[in-house]
Amino acid sequence: MITLRAFKQHDTCQIVTILNDQQVARYLSSKIPFPYTQADANWWVNEGAKCGIIKAIEVDGLCVGCIGVIPGEFEYSRSGEIGYWLSQQYWGQGIITQAIKLICKEAFDSSELNRVFATVFSGNTGSIKALTKVGFSFEAQLKQAIYKNNQFYDAIVLSLLRNHQPILN
């Protein structure tokens, strides 16, 4: 059983530990610094996590990850991008799939979003599997659209529409 909640100051040490794991950081946006410092975590808890619908993923009272939906702007204001990360020791347990369900339900229930989409590195098969389990559909494969750590990746775009939430209901 997981809980989605606001980040708390006492989560910062756990955030630093998780985000300094190269396997966790491998497919994350370069917007997230690596190595990740205590100052980065303090900024995240106090400022960064307050933009959009962003929650800590809690298991047994411990922050083990993050998930959020960031609404677009202007003509994209009814579309939001989902992103997440999870401590490696919790991979393969269905936690991120459950978190995706919960955050999408919250995003659709609490906003005027009509579409939630994900842009996933082509090698991140676990993330693609979790999204499709929840009902996200493949939209596009953008060839060599991502460049990180001297390597190109295709960007896989998947989405879930408000009126097509078979698993969320």
Q: Kindly write down the DSSP assignment for every residue of 60-76, as one continuous string.
A: TTEEEEEEEEEE--GGG
User: What's the pLDDT score for residue 98?
Assistant: 97
How confident is residue 167, by pLDDT bands cut at 50, 70 and 90? low
Q: How many CB atoms lie within 10 A of CB 6?
A: 11
Local confidence band at 1 (pLDDT 50, 70, 90 cut-offs): confident
pTM: 0.95
Q: Is 77 helix (H, G, I), strand (E, B) or coil?
A: coil
Query: Residue 136 — very low, low, confident or very high, per pLDDT cuts 50/70/90?
Result: very high
Q: Return d(Cα 79, Cα 56) in angstroms, integer.
A: 22
Average pLDDT, the chain: 96
Distance in angstroms between the alpha carbons of the first and the last residue of the chain: 18
User: Smallest Cα–Cα separation from 127: which of 23, 21, 30?
Assistant: 23
Q: What are phi and psi of 134, to 5 degrees?
A: -80, -15
Asked whether the predicted pLDDT for residue 146 surpasses 60, the reply is yes
Question: DSSP secondary-structure letter at 34?
Answer: S
